[in-house]
Amino acid sequence: MPIRPYKGITPTLPESCYVDNSAVLVGDIICGDDVSIWPLVAARGDVNHIRIGNRSNIQDGAVLHVTRKSASNPDGHPLIIGEDVTVGHKCMLHGCTLGDRILVGMGAIIMDGAIVEDDVFVGAGSLVPPNKRLESGYLYVGSPVKQARPLNNQERAFLKQSAVNYVELKADYQ
């Protein structure tokens, strides 16, 4: 079963949400409208919570997790994903915050406490270190990630279009 409770809390998914049968969602996870969760995604909202905004898509093999609360970090780090976010194949998001209209390239890793502002491309294979902030409107690449250049208008438009494409695709699967 892809949807599992943890300590009595079960993921909350609207009817418009698509979750592939091979994905696993556990615990305190709330998805917005038209979210799509693709094959082999593992998302554990066990020691903190995960929120995924409207029209965001989590592609094949991505791992989503959180950081527990502790004496040195009383709130821990939940995983917050904004609206119209595309998370590419085999990404790892751990206790970070993503704004709206973001594309996280295949295989990228975004670590605890990192904040990615709105309208950002994170290049494939990039590593965003803990507590790093990525400023809105740029392409970031590398390991560790560095600001490469401002996004052009076509790239900014693609951020929203990518989310629309996945809303249409998940409708086909439903």
Domain ranges (residues) in the chain: 3-173
Q: Helix-strand-coil percent breakdown of the chain, rounded to 5? A: 10, 40, 50
CATH topology classification for 3-173: UDP N-Acetylglucosamine Acyltransferase; domain 1 (2.160.10)
Is the predicted pLDDT of residue 1 greater than 90, yes or no?
no
* Per-residue model confidence (pLDDT) at position 84: 98
Is the predicted pLDDT of residue 115 greater than 70, yes or no?
yes
Q: Which two tokens stand for residue 22?
A: 């091979």
30 DSSP β-pair partners: 12, 51
Q: Are 59 and 88 in contact (CB under 8 A)?
A: yes
Average model confidence (pLDDT) across the chain? 97
CA atoms within 13 Å, Cβ hemisphere of 45: 22
Q: Is-above-0.95 flag for pTM?
A: yes
Q: Are 106 and 124 in contact (CB under 8 A)?
A: yes
* Per-residue model confidence (pLDDT) at position 44: 98
Per-residue confidence band for 122, with pLDDT thresholds at 50, 70 and 90: very high
